[in-house]
């Protein structure tokens, strides 16, 4: 076990060092450093990969004699990682890296010029390589299962599709009903919010909910993210807009939610591949919980609004708590996923999930993708993209070869409510606590049931153990109906 752990620590350190370089690239590195930096990162990542699939690692895993439950989990889960990694030929990994490098450039050009045909041949190549990747990994039912499993271990296409269909059949008419209700005024969030004050207020609230700044920090980047260099150094980034309150504040709560998950992992897992979130869906459940279920609740703003008013007197002195609460919760179907509100967001994801499957199954050709996208968007959300830049070209994910990634965003939303409901059962006065600015019991509950486990338990196991049920659509749909039904008087 000791020799195995030493080897796993070397692999982990290489990946963590690569993460530092990637973080620097997005925050402080001058533009001209990009070419050299991508080579440095590739070197570290491939060294880590080679060590993982090396025969010596397999031998140590085979010979290991775990004498604790945690060590047994380590051997079992890393053995599975190794088996999966060994199934994919390195030639295919290299082809994918090259294809996605080109596809990313083509995607940027296609999006800025609103010219889908520039991207189309690259996208065909990406989907083709992803099908090869799925075949190499193997699957029980359909190739998409193998792609999904990379991001959401143990989830199957059938399971996810069934849950998404449940959401969709109730959500589409609900969004339509909101569209016919009196619109809410978003004015208060689109006023002048000085950047320095946004920063201070966001950090104050992030720390208040439990983000540990002795083991974390925030910097600026074009696209906000969180990243972990170890359990004791987990960082976030944000972006600021002078005349829009939401991106920085809710972005900070979101990324702090991700970071608190990583900060809460059992320290004894440090230096092993288990010191990580168990799946992207579970990770997103943590960020969405703090961003939406806490951060966009009326209870939270009963606590935070007086501080917000004194921090932003110019923007908020003539705004009431109710007006502010409505402004941060306005529902407005739009064509752009990253601007979507809490209610419509999942429909953006389900659209991508369905199209990915149809592409992988060969039922939709790349050339027909823009029309398929626009038709579905119009029938579900009642809005039609004016051009492909606002439609099929809006996201970077496909150019990177990340097929099977999108559904994890919606899975996170669904899981966040299931877990929040379970936490509330154990903490019956949770709303009172939030109203009083007390978040430590909720965080403690998440530490016990979710965070500490790292990758030792799968998302399904965590859900089962803490909620007594598997992934389900009902709790999220009930939450949305209750909250937004009240706000919109439906
Ligand atoms: Zn996230």
For residues 131 and 162, state if they share a domain.
no
**Residue 389 domain flag:** yes
Give the model's pLDDT for residue 90: 87
For residues 385 and 420, state if they share a domain.
yes
**Residue 267 domain flag:** yes
Give the model's pLDDT for residue 215: 98
Q: Is 227 helix (H, G, I), strand (E, B) or coil?
A: strand
- Residue 188: give its domain's CATH number: 1.10.1370.30
Q: How far is the CA of 291 from the centre of ligand 1 (A)?
A: 10
- Compute φ and ψ for 359, nearest 5 degrees: -70, -45
Q: How far is the CA of 371 from the centre of ligand 1 (A)?
A: 29
| Residue 421 CB partners (closer than 8 Å, separation 6+) | 467, 475
For residues 331 and 208, state if they share a domain.
yes
Instruction: Report the 10 Å Cβ neighbour count for 102.
Output: 14
pTM: 0.96
For residues 484 and 402, state if they share a domain.
yes
Q: How far is the CA of 150 from the centre of ligand 1 (A)?
A: 17
Domain that holds residue 30: 2-138
What are the start-end ranges of the H helices in 88-151?
Answer: 90-113, 116-137, 143-151
Q: What is the phi-psi region of residue 249: left when phi exceeds 0, alpha when psi lies from -120 to 50, beta otherwise?
A: alpha
**Whole-number CA gyration radius for the chain:** 23
Q: What is the pLDDT of residues 19-44, one digit of tens each?
A: 999 999 999 999 899 889 989 999 99
**Residue 372 domain flag:** yes
Residue with structure tokens 């579900």? 380
For residues 124 and 37, state if they share a domain.
yes
Give the model's pLDDT for residue 442: 98
- Compute φ and ψ for 237, nearest 5 degrees: -130, 160
**Residue 152 domain flag:** no
Of 8-17, 90-99, 363-372, 468-477, the one with minimum mean pLDDT is 90-99
List the one residue out of 404, 151, 395, 164 whose CA is nearest residue 280.
151
For residues 300 and 446, state if they share a domain.
yes
Task: Please state, in angstroms and rounded to a whole number, the distance separating the CA atoms of residues 253 and 250.
Answer: 5
Strand bridging mode 226-230 / 233-238: antiparallel
Strand bridging mode 218-220 / 226-230: unpaired
- Percentage of the chain modeled with pLDDT above 70: 100
Task: Please state, in angstroms and rounded to a whole number, the distance separating the CA atoms of residues 411 and 164.
Answer: 9
Q: Report the pLDDT averaged over residues 374-399.
A: 96
Q: Report the pLDDT averaged over residues 159-178.
A: 97
**Residue 146 domain flag:** no
Q: How far is the CA of 182 from the centre of ligand 1 (A)?
A: 31
- Percentage of the chain modeled with pLDDT above 90: 97
For residues 93 and 203, state if they share a domain.
no
For residues 115 and 162, state if they share a domain.
no
For residues 181 and 59, state if they share a domain.
no
* Catalytic site includes residue 56: no
**Residue 454 domain flag:** yes
For residues 361 and 228, state if they share a domain.
yes
Q: What is the pLDDT of residues 407-417, one digit of tens each?
A: 999 999 999 99
Using an 8 Å Cβ cutoff, are 289 and 412 in contact? no
Using an 8 Å Cβ cutoff, are 151 and 422 in contact? no
For residues 68 and 200, state if they share a domain.
no
Q: How far is the CA of 255 from the centre of ligand 1 (A)?
A: 6
Q: Report the pLDDT averaged over residues 254-278.
A: 98
pLDDT greater than 90 at residue 375:
yes
Task: Please state, in angstroms and rounded to a whole number, the distance separating the CA atoms of residues 300 and 432.
Answer: 10
Give the model's pLDDT for residue 252: 98
Distances (CA, A) of 199 to 251, 268, 294: 11, 34, 19
**Residue 148 domain flag:** no
Query: Where among 103, 138, 173 does a domain terminate?
Result: 138
Query: Where among 82, 103, 138 does a domain terminate?
Result: 138
pLDDT greater than 90 at residue 213:
yes
**Residue 151 domain flag:** no
Give the model's pLDDT for residue 61: 98
From the list 22, 152, 153, 255, the catalytic residue is 255
Task: Please state, in angstroms and rounded to a whole number, the distance separating the CA atoms of residues 364 and 271.
Answer: 44
For residues 285 and 221, state if they share a domain.
yes
Q: Is 178 helix (H, G, I), strand (E, B) or coil?
A: helix
Q: Show the tokens assigned to 448.
A: 């016990």
Q: How far is the CA of 325 from the centre of ligand 1 (A)?
A: 22
How many separate domains does the chain show?
2
Using an 8 Å Cβ cutoff, are 323 and 185 in contact? yes
Query: Where among 85, 106, 138 does a domain terminate?
Result: 138
Across the chain, mean pLDDT equals 96
């Amino acid at each position: 076990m000791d020799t195995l752990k030493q080897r796993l620590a070397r692999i982990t350190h290489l990946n963590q060092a690569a993460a530092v370089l990637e973080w620097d690239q997005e925050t402080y590195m001058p533009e001209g450093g990009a070419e050299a930096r991508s080579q440095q990162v590739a070197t570290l990542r491939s060294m880590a990969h080679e060590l993982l699939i090396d025969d010596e690692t397999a031998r140590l895993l085979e010979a290991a004699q775990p004498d604790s439950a945690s060590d047994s989990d380590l051997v079992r889960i890393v053995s599975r990682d190794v088996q999966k990694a060994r199934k994919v030929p390195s030639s295919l990994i290299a082809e994918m890296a090259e294809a996605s490098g080109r596809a990313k450039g083509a995607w940027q050009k296609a999006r800025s010029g609103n010219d889908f045909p520039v991207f189309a041949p690259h996208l065909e190549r990406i989907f083709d390589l992803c099908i090869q990747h799925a075949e190499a990994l193997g699957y029980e039912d359909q190739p998409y299962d193998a792609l999904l499993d990379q991001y959401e271990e143990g989830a199957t296409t059938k399971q996810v599709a069934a849950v998404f269909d449940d959401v969709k059949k109730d959500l589409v008419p609900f969004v339509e009903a909101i569209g016919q209700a009196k619109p809410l005024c978003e004015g208060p969030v689109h006023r002048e919010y000085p950047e320095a004050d946004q920063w201070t207020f966001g950090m104050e609230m992030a720390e208040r909910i439990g983000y540990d700044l002795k083991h974390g920090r925030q910097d600026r980047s074009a696209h906000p993210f969180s990243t972990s260099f170890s359990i004791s150094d987990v960082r976030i980034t944000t972006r600021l807009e002078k005349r829009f309150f939401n991106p920085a504040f809710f972005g900070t709560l979101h990324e702090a939610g991700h970071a608190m998950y990583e900060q809460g992992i059992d320290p004894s897992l440090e230096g092993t591949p288990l010191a990580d979130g168990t799946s992207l869906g579970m990770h997103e459940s943590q960020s969405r919980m703090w961003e939406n279920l806490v951060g966009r609740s009326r209870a939270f703003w009963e606590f935070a609004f007086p501080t917000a008013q004194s921090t932003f007197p110019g923007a908020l002195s003539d705004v009431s708590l109710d007006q502010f609460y409505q402004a941060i919760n306005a529902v407005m179907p739009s064509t752009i996923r990253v601007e979507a509100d809490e209610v419509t967001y999942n429909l953006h994801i389900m659209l991508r999930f369905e199209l990915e499957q149809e592409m992988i199954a060969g039922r939709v050709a790349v050339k027909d993708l823009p029309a398929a996208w626009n038709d579905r968007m119009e029938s579900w959300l009642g809005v039609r993209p004016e051009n492909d830049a606002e439609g099929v070209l809006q996201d970077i994910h496909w150019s990177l070869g990340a097929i099977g990634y999108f559904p994890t965003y919606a899975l996170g939303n669904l899981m966040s409510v299931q877990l929040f409901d379970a936490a509330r059962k154990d903490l019956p006065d949770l709303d009172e606590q939030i109203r009083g600015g007390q978040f430590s019991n909720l965080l403690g509950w998440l530490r016990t049931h979710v965070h500490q486990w790292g990758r030792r338990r799968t998302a399904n196991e965590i859900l089962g153990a803490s909620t007594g049920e598997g992934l389900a659509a009902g709790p999220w749909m009930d939450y949305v109906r209750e909250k937004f039904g009240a706000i919109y008087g439906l």
